[in-house]
């Protein structure tokens, strides 16, 4: 399974992504994230969610191989709908979501993290949205919640990444620690929140979302419309084929390559 959940006795729901080799999730994986977080709405015992991952990195976006090996637009549409559902579930989760990021967090990973309430990271973590390299648009909405506007545009147009330590100064990453301390940091913050009155925390989450200046669901959906245009033009398919061929060649010589796309 790509996504698993464990509800601890202290009310902390730990949701873990694990889809080797690089946590580039297939369509179903995105819907699985949404389903895992949506249970918090029906279970008052859940006080806070920790979203984490196993493997080389936190998340490398959608599985481009699945998209290129599927006839027609079913996988593309599925990825669009799945990412929208997953990002929405993080943002609208009735309890705080803490994202614990290690290694790479690119493409769809930024969509998850940008909608989280708290972000902690390991000292090897980095963030980026390489969508323009694969003929897609998306997650600028969420990258804009991590960095100021002009830096977001620079990162977006160039497909560059930014290390987690640089995000601490912007206040979007709470703290950076060695990887072996990341889970302890996330669970420590989660325990502090879980010790509060759950009714108050749920009200606080709803209140903070209510005063948020950006409608993230509408903003991201607007971005996805341009992705569909680029696909209809044939641009996206051409660039994804180039990416898939390059990634295969690099794997053959033993070089890791992450797959980012939303």
Report residue 211 as tokens: 């005063």
Specify if 257 maps to a domain.
Answer: no
Rounded to whole angstroms, the Cα distance separating 10 from 205 reads 19
Specify if 262 maps to a domain.
Answer: no
Residues contacting 12, CB < 8 A, separation 6+: 47, 48, 49, 50, 187, 190, 191, 194
Rounded to whole angstroms, the Cα distance separating 15 from 23 reads 14
pLDDT attached to residue 241:
82
Overall number of domains in the chain: 1
- H or E segment at 141? helix 140-143
Specify if 88 maps to a domain.
Answer: yes
Rounded to whole angstroms, the Cα distance separating 97 from 92 reads 10
Specify if 248 maps to a domain.
Answer: yes
State the Cα angle at 43 between 41 and 46, rounded to 5°.
95
pLDDT along the chain (262 residues), means of 10: 93 97 96 97 96 98 86 88 97 98 97 98 97 88 97 97 97 98 98 97 97 93 90 85 66 47 56
pLDDT attached to residue 214:
87
State the Cα angle at 160 between 156 and 162, rounded to 5°.
105
CA–CA distances in Å: residue 51 to residues 54, 65, 121, 156, 256: 11, 25, 12, 24, 24
Q: In whole angstroms, what separates CA 51 from the centre of its chain?
A: 9
pLDDT attached to residue 1:
65
Sheet of 175-177, strands arranged across: 3-7, 12-17, 48-53, 97-101, 118-122, 175-177
Specify if 207 maps to a domain.
Answer: yes
Rounded to whole angstroms, the Cα distance separating 53 from 32 reads 14
Specify if 122 maps to a domain.
Answer: yes
In this structure, what CATH number is given to the domain that contains residue 133? 3.90.226.10
Q: How far apart are the first and last CA of the chain?
A: 20
Rounded to whole angstroms, the Cα distance separating 128 from 143 reads 8
- State the residue range of the domain holding 80: 3-252
**Tokens 């690119």 sit on residue:** 106
Specify if 27 maps to a domain.
Answer: yes
Q: Which among 1, 63, 76 has a CA at the least distance from the CA of 33?
A: 1
How many residues make up the chain in this entry?
262
Specify if 258 maps to a domain.
Answer: no
């Amino acid at each position: 399974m790509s996504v698993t959940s464990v509800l601890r006795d202290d009310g902390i729901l730990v949701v873990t992504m694990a889809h080797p080799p690089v946590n580039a999730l297939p369509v179903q994986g995105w819907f699985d994230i949404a389903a895992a977080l949506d249970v918090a709405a029906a279970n008052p015992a859940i006080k806070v969610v920790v979203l984490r991952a196993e493997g080389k990195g936190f998340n490398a976006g959608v599985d481009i191989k699945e998209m290129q090996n599927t006839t027609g637009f079913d996988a593309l549409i599925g990825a669009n709908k799945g990412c929208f559902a997953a990002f929405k579930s993080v943002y609208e989760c009735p309890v705080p979501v803490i994202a614990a990021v290690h290694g790479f967090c690119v493409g769809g990973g930024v969509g998850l993290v940008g909608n989280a309430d708290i972000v902690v990271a390991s000292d090897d973590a980095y963030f980026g949205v390489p969508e323009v390299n694969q003929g897609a648009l998306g997650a600028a909405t969420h990258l804009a919640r991590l960095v100021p506007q002009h830096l977001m545009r620079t990162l977006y147009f160039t497909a560059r990444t930014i290390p987690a330590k640089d995000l601490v100064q912007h206040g979007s990453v709470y703290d950076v620690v060695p990887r072996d301390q990341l889970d302890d940091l996330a669970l420590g913050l989660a325990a502090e929140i879980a010790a509060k009155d759950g009714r108050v925390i749920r009200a606080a989450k709803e209140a903070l979302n209510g005063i948020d200046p950006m409608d993230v669901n509408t903003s991201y959906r607007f971005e996805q419309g341009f992705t569909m245009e680029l696909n209809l033009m044939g641009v996206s398919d051409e660039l994804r084929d180039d990416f898939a061929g390059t990634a295969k060649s690099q794997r053959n010589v033993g070089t890791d390559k992450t797959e980012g796309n939303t």
